[in-house]
Structure 1
Amino acid sequence: MPELKKSLTGLGNRQVAAVPPSAIRAVDNKISTIPGIIKLTLGEPDFAVPEHIKQATDAAIDADWSHYAPSFGYAKLRKEITDYLATTFDAHYDPQTEVVVTVGATEGIHAAIAGLFNPGDTIIIPTPTFPLYEAVATVAGLNVVLVNTAPAYLLTPQLLKTTLAAHPDAKGLVLNYPSNPTGATYTHAQLRELAAVIADTNLLVLSDEIYAELSYEEKHISLAHLLPSQTVLISGLSKSHAMTGYRIGYLAGPAPLMTLAGKMHQFMVTTAASPMMKAAEEALSPAGAGDAEAMKKVYQQRRDLMMAALTQVGFSAPKPAGAFYIFAKLPAKFGEDDVQFVYDLAEHAKVGLVPGSVFGPGGEGHVRLSYAASTKNLTEAAQRIQRFVAQKE
């Protein structure tokens, strides 16, 4: 095994070195060695990719769609994306200049943050939230302002005004709704009120709406519909169509911004994979219109199953209005040490959850449970959690 030359010790990007690896993956990797564990850790739909999409993938491979695609994505896919956004969310874009197809929403987040902000810019990130936003912004040299939104888990107009009063130089705002990890989302009235405040600022909003199709109580309303001139929409097919491994996401926004984000995307990955983009064309076509709805109905049943089981033994959580996560406060007898709770639960009950503290301020003393797992596994996991809690004094 090669050893690093001693004179190179300390070499490396200091911003990258300062950011810890994914805490979610670290927990998942550590508990994965426990025999018989049921992991409710990752946001990984247990559904198979719909059959018509798999057939489209096979056809693309057979037809030799195996070469470099245009960096911004195939023209047909960009047209399918814009048609889908217009029909589903009343958000309108030019497929030629206002859409970039990315390698999942994750790469889209990287491309947007790196391409649209400068080192030293201030970006506001409401928490608890998916840790990736802070990590990418930190690596890009941005000044990150974390805003604790507990217990409602929504950024209110007043909270945004208060934050801007303390940070008047802020350039960006991240919104993720329905939320990972809380499942919270905005009603139409709440989002309109927030958009009215944003409209009076020069904030650029990165609106991550990857879970938009999994909104349970009210049809999702996109900030791109309300505030298109200040919004970069981030989304993809991983959650709506269970296509996590296909790695197809997209950015949509004003053309000058897409030119910059698209340039960064080109520098990082050149282009998304050709067969996967052909599969995405099928997913976003009218043939895929019912795919997400069928999955959403099952997720709602699973949500209700797990909410009832957790509540019975002293957890408390707001009922998720979207996505497929429950963000639950630990029963009082376990205190606030969510990390220790997660590892004890994994060891003694063989159920894997994620500590709430990894999602930033407001997450301490909580756990995130993903109900994107089979109903059979969720039922067994619920029983194991209940027994574990009952046995602990």
Structure 2
Amino acid sequence: MDFALPQELAALEARTVAFVRDEVLPFEADPRRTAHGPSEDLRRELVEKARAAGLLSPHVTREWGGLGLSHLGKAVVFEAAGYSMLGPVALNIAAPDEGNMHLLAEVASPAQNARFLAPMAAGETRSCFLMTEPHPGAGADPSLMKTTAVKEGDHFIVNGVKWLITGAEGAACAIVMARTFVDGRDVGATMFLTDLPAEGFRITRALDTLDSSFTGGHAEVALENLRIPATDVLGAVGEGFRYAQARLVPARLTHCMRWLGAARRAHDIATDYASRREAFGGTLLSHEGVGFMLADNEIDLHTTRLAIRHAAWLLDQGQKANVESSMVKVFASEAIFRVVDRSLQVLGGLGMTRDTEVERIFRDVRGFRIYDGPSEVHRWNIARRLARTATAAAVPAGRAA
């Protein structure tokens, strides 16, 4: 692996850094940045700025108006964009749209992409992804899915409740996961596309959550006899869980990329403050208690970046089977949280206020250890794999190798 960035990618990184600094950071105090995420009006204004800068939707192919970034390219640009939590919104690389665009490009038919992907890639519309359900439905264990889709003629009738649906408010389309029945037989989970608003798709409440960086916030949605034409099945009937994994592996990594940028921002704010704030005869940075915390931040940021970029490089080499996205997600989410937590601690009382961006980053990044699979579930899966690969050839306990 060559760790040096190609000249073109390094130049794109510099452009993104400058764009976020000059065009995005001034919007962080905008009143349209609400407790349920940036308003649609603010999102559109930011998108237009990215379009003017030639940075809109860099992850999609040039066919759909993007820059066709490689996975390594995404790692570099998404981190730079994440330096402000409004950066991914501006570049149109925020969740869930970024993951949905990737899934559509991989699975959707040409007609479906013209209808759903094209306006999303242009920044004209947003989408949502409906998989998670309240208890006792599907969460970290998707096999518990209660939402059903029953085939009736040339339509599917979908019923169920979904929740923690990011961006549902104001979305123009949705990808819906449901356990599917054809002629009374359970054929497995299927993904469906639907335009919004739609009869049978009802937002029952907006959820008040710890985070506030996703446009449209998070909602609970009731699906009540939602009729979806068979032509709007995404991919093949019964292949929903397989497609979900195809979406989640790169989506876990892109989350890591964006939040790494936010953690670096928190660290920079704390380091700047510690270099100026004086106490006990010197700057805070000169005291080991603070200096060591910031040094640990540097270590976590550096190793997280290496882990993310190595995984991205493996994907670019076609080595998807070797990409341990679960390991990277656990390591990155916990290291990034440590960085932000230390940064807030270094700021002291200032860190508890909204006079800096760190307080907001702290609240938002906490959820990263839960969504796309809690750390504990990923560890459990890794441990199960270790158990499966253990062999009788292993050295018995107590015997020298």
Which structure has the highest strand share of the two?
A: 2
Q: Which has the higher helix share?
A: 2
Higher relative contact order (CA 8 A, sep 6+): 1
User: Computing the radius of gyration over CA atoms, which structure comes out larger, 1 or 2?
Assistant: 2
TM-score (norm 2): 0.24
So what's the TM-score if we normalise by structure 1?
0.25
